Amino acid sequence: MTLMTTIEEESVPKKSVVIHKKNLRLKSVLSYLYQEGACTLAQLADVAHTSIPSVTGLVEQLMEEGWVSSNGIVTGNNGRRPALFGLRPDGHYVIVLDSNTHDTRLLIVNPLRQIVFQRTVNRRLEDTAEFLDFLAQFVTETLAGSVIPKTAILAMGLAIPGLIDARRDLNLTYSSLNPTSQSITAWLEERLDLPVYLINDTKATALGENRFGGGLGKKHVLSINIDWGVGLGIILDGKVFQGASGYAGELGHIQVDPDGELCYCGKVGCLDTITSASSLVRRVQRAVLDGCVSQLAAQQNDVSQITIHHVIEAAHQGDAFAIDQLHETGYQLGKGLSIAINLFNPEVIIVDGVLAQAAVFITNPIEQAINKHCLSGFRNDLTVEVTKLNGAAKWLGTHAYVMENLFADF
């Protein structure tokens, strides 16, 4: 073996290390711009742990590849004002597909998290093989009807409820959705010719809150998603906690009443049977039939017309019965959350989902239960908040999940 051969062989790993470090810096620059918006070169140099000349080269490369553009200069500074750079709003779009127990919604979102096109259809998630065909057709038709070319789409994120096996990309709750011999994502990728990322809807909500909502800047966050079920999104050390298989956070299926109602999961007395929006509505409907004193009694002739929105509206109007029902729901939720607090020691709990509209009528009893059932050390620095994202946490989290995965593969 000659000396030259030895030098050439040794240079290969050195070259690969240099490329690896450069890719890490590119990822950090993209991630920071995505999270924070337009920045100066000095800020990006700090983030990438490199010099300004080096980060200038990275930004120029990203500009050539269509990721970054110049955003003017910093305002309000004396002397020479530095230039700002940010992600481009055109190109590199992501499809966010949200299929749930209410409807199916498709958003096309740019890197600045701006919705450039959206479409909603009145078809809820179904536990059938045909529903996956519908999703593929819905995406194809929507893209054809939009002004966004297919070549400008980077990937798609699909947020759905249920037990999502994060290792195999299967839904164990809606098991008929799963293709016979491949994952949900692989099946959709074949038909759409796009990378597809699958995430549980509650975990997407928690990620959205952590990146852009009440959990921003916090490492340990619980996001309780109260809709027709009760889901718990867990952020540990700034990352979504999946658990061994991706099932972590099924707070709604801890048993709270051994003599309670049968849950749809097959168990008895789950927290879902007491605190979900659907269980609350059923209790209200039964009480109205029994002659309770409430403005909701106006629906006594057809209690099926009573919705969770009627209950929340009645509470905001001072209806004592509606307030009591929400209080009991919130208190039971707080008891369940006390278990999670003792396990995960979060900084903040964010209430998302349809019951977030009840505001203090749901958060006050949650806090009362936490104060009663948690150790004082756990609750001293803990806050309970209603989401400030106005229903956007789930799609924001889905978009972030896709973008962060794409940046990781950059």
Q: Are 51 and 69 in contact (CB under 8 A)?
A: no
The mean pLDDT of 144-173, rounded to a whole number, is 94
Local confidence band at 77 (pLDDT 50, 70, 90 cut-offs): low
- Superfamily for domain range 93-204+395-408: ATPase, nucleotide binding domain (3.30.420.40)
pLDDT given for residue 78 in this prediction? 64
For the cut 70, the answer to whether the pLDDT of residue 155 exceeds it is: yes
Task: Tell me the mean pLDDT in the region 25-42.
Answer: 93
Instruction: Locate 271 and state its tokens.
Output: 């927290």
Give the amino acid at 12.
V
Percentage of the chain exceeding pLDDT 90: 77
- Asked if pLDDT for residue 80 goes beyond 80, the answer is no
Q: How many CB atoms lie within 10 A of CB 57?
A: 14
Question: Are 18-87 and 93-204+395-408 in the same CATH fold?
Answer: no
Residue 228's pLDDT is 83
- Spatial neighbors of 56 by CB under 8 A, at least 6 apart, are 41
Q: What are phi and psi of 61, to 5 degrees?
A: -60, -45
Structure tokens at 342: 């003792």
Segment 247-291, tens digit of pLDDT? 999 899 999 888 888 988 888 989 999 999 999 999 999 999 999
- % of the chain beyond a pLDDT of 70: 95
Give DSSP secondary structure letters for 311-348. Answer: HHHHHHTT-HHHHHHHHHHHHHHHHHHHHHHHHH--SE
pLDDT band, residue 229 (cuts 50/70/90): confident
Mean pLDDT of the chain, nearest integer? 91
* Terminal Cα-to-Cα distance of the chain (whole angstroms): 37
Q: Looking at residue 14, what is its pLDDT? A: 55
pLDDT at 13: 59
User: What dotted CATH number matches 215-388?
Assistant: 3.30.420.40
Neighbour-count burial for 108-119, b at 16+ CB within 10 Å, e otherwise: bbbbebeebbeb
Q: What is the pLDDT of residue 214?
A: 94
Domain locations along the chain: 18-87, 93-204+395-408, 215-388
The tokens for 81 are 């004002």
Architecture of domain 18-87: Orthogonal Bundle (1.10)
pLDDT of 53 > 80? The answer is yes
Q: Which of 409, 404, 405 is nearest to 33 (CA)?
A: 404
Task: Report which secondary-structure segment, H or E, holds 221.
Answer: strand 221-226
| Angle, alpha carbons 104-179-245 (nearest 5°) | 85
Q: Is the pLDDT of residue 116 over 50?
A: yes
What value does the mean pLDDT take over residues 111-124? 96
User: Tens digit of pLDDT for each residue in 311-341?
Assistant: 999 999 999 999 999 999 999 999 999 999 9
Which residue type is seen at 293? V
Residue pLDDT, tens place only, 2-30? 434 444 445 445 557 777 788 888 999 99
Whether the predicted pLDDT of 160 surpasses 70: yes
> In the prediction, which pLDDT does 264 show?
84
pLDDT score for 257: 87
pLDDT of the residue at 1: 42
Amino acid 7: pLDDT: 40
- Amino acid identity at 52: I
